[in-house]
A and B are shown apart, each in its own frame.
Chain A
Amino acid sequence: MNPGLTHFRQVLKDFKDLSALALKGIVAVPLADLWVKAGPPPSSVIPPLTAAVQFLSIMWVFHAWGSARMTLLTRDMRRSAILFCCGVLLTGVLIAGFTTRPRRDKDRIVHGFIVRDEIRPLISPTYTTADALRDAEFDSFRVWTAVSIVIVHVVLVMSWLLVFVGSACFVTLFIISRRLPAPPSVARGK
């Protein structure tokens, strides 16, 4: 078996090491959104999908980076951190600017960015798209074009996945790097 995947199996079985627990926790975190409903809708699909994508990306990282050198791991940890930060930023902007949550116990409503032709004459500084959405029973398809809503929704889901995949990759690369022998300078210092 690929040494990386052997390591993956060891980490899965390990319930004592902090990093191994962190990896399992990272896969479990998106499932909290089943109840919190803070992420993109539908909340019955996206959290399990996110957890599944995270799990696959962890397997892939163990497989492909399992025997990588420390310099490579450090570089890709940095890239994972950047991906994570970009994902958080984009998701935050999209959730704040392009979603509404009229009922706290229900999913978010995703907006579009192109207002429907018949709605456009109504929109003014005193009557915003948020007003139109409220007046349309929070059915965003009555206010924005379907294409623009779907595009926003897809980008939101992708950025949401990026956040969790980025974090999973970062932790996985960190775990792999810990198995490597210490650099000679550090070894000499001991």
Chain B
Amino acid sequence: MSFIVNNSSIANPPGNWSIPFAMAFFAFTCVIPAPAQNNVQDSTTARFGRAANSGEALELFQDVVQHALDEDPYLAEARITRKESVLTYDFRLLQSEVHYSDDNRLTIPLDLLLTSRILERDLAGAFPSESFWRQSLNEMDSILRQFVAVAFAARTNTEWRSAVTKYRQDFDHSVERLDTVLNEYANRNGLDVYKSREPLEGYPVTIQIDPAGAHLQYMRHLEYLLCKTFSVPLDDHWTDLSAGPHFLIGRYRYRAIWPGMAGQPEEANFEVTSKGTIPFKAPKP
């Protein structure tokens, strides 16, 4: 009963981004007219809208990411939280193979940029007066600046592919370093760290909640049974379950507070045995 795992992913495949982000992405890639590019030599070369150089391309990326963060309630959720002496985070789903779904010059830098912005936002929220995490974030910024420059300027597919491999690795190493400094900080300050033990990867599932205003929470079913057996209050063990993509496997206990429904929250089990969509619907009155 000593683990709290945040199963939310930090970044999602573009296919799962919410409508506002998808619209912004569409505007960025399609509607904004692209200038004539002399360097286009293969079909993978992306159009960077009005950007005349890599600096402007980076600014455009940042605008799209900021728009997504402002508009998408899923992305607005904090992935790193600190409550009193407990630090909760999970970097499992930052692994590149999880969230790079579309291998092109727009989505990969956007994914990485989104990840770094979410990390920056959550770290600033969890450690507003500390700067131990800044160096890792600065590293990520530097990597992203170089990566966008390559995405903008690479003339051949081979050049682009080798850059993707290099910068993905560099970015993942920065995340590993951030993980290390977070643990060191927690040790120095006597914080309990709750994070994943790297269990088996779950199935990619999409949680649907209808109506959207409902409040869903869940926990592993084993945790639930232990709380019941040892008469431990359940309240500290629930984790919010948001609509959107998650990686889950096995059986879980959930409770749902439906808007407009009086009385006790609805409680039941659900089991994930394959990938797909898991709908949660309010019971009919």
Which residues does A use to contact B, with CB under 8 Å? 102-103, 106-107, 109, 118-119, 121-122, 132-139, 141-143
B166 at the interface (CB under 8 A from A): no
10 A-B contacts (beta carbon < 8 Å)? A107-B200, A109-B200, A118-B1, A118-B230, A119-B222, A122-B225, A135-B222, A136-B222, A138-B249, A142-B222
Summed over the interface, the residue pairs from A and B with CB atoms below 8 Å come to a total of 54
With beta carbons under 8 angstroms apart, the residue of B3, B200, B221, B226 that contacts A102 is B200
Size category of the B interface is 20 to 34
- Chain A residue numbers with a CB within 8 Å of B229 are 121-122
- Known contacts A102-B200, A138-B199; can you find 9 more A-B pairs with CB under 8 A? A102-B250, A118-B1, A134-B221, A134-B250, A135-B221, A137-B202, A137-B249, A138-B249, A139-B199
Chain A at the B interface: SS class:
loop
A98 to B3, CA, bound (A): 24
- The reply to whether B220 and A135 form a contact with Cβ atoms under 8 Å apart is yes
* Closest partner residue, chain B, to A109 (CB atom): B200
Most chain A CB within a 10 A radius of its CB, from B3, B203, B271: B3
- A138 partner residues in chain B, CB cutoff 8 A: 199-200, 249-250
Q: Are B199 and A137 in contact (CB under 8 A)?
A: yes
Is residue B161 within 8 Å, beta carbon to beta carbon, of the partner chain? Answer: no
Chain A: minimal CB distance from B250 (Å): 5
* Min CB–CB distance A45 → chain B (angstroms): 15
Q: How far is the CA of A136 from the CA of B251 in the complex (A)?
A: 8
On chain A, the residues within 8 Å of B197 by CB distance are 139, 141
B201 contacts the other chain (CB 8 A): yes
Which listed residue (B3, B221, B226) contacts A118, Cβ 8 A? B226
Chain A residues near B221 (CB-CB < 8 A): 134-135
A135 to B248, CA, bound (A): 11
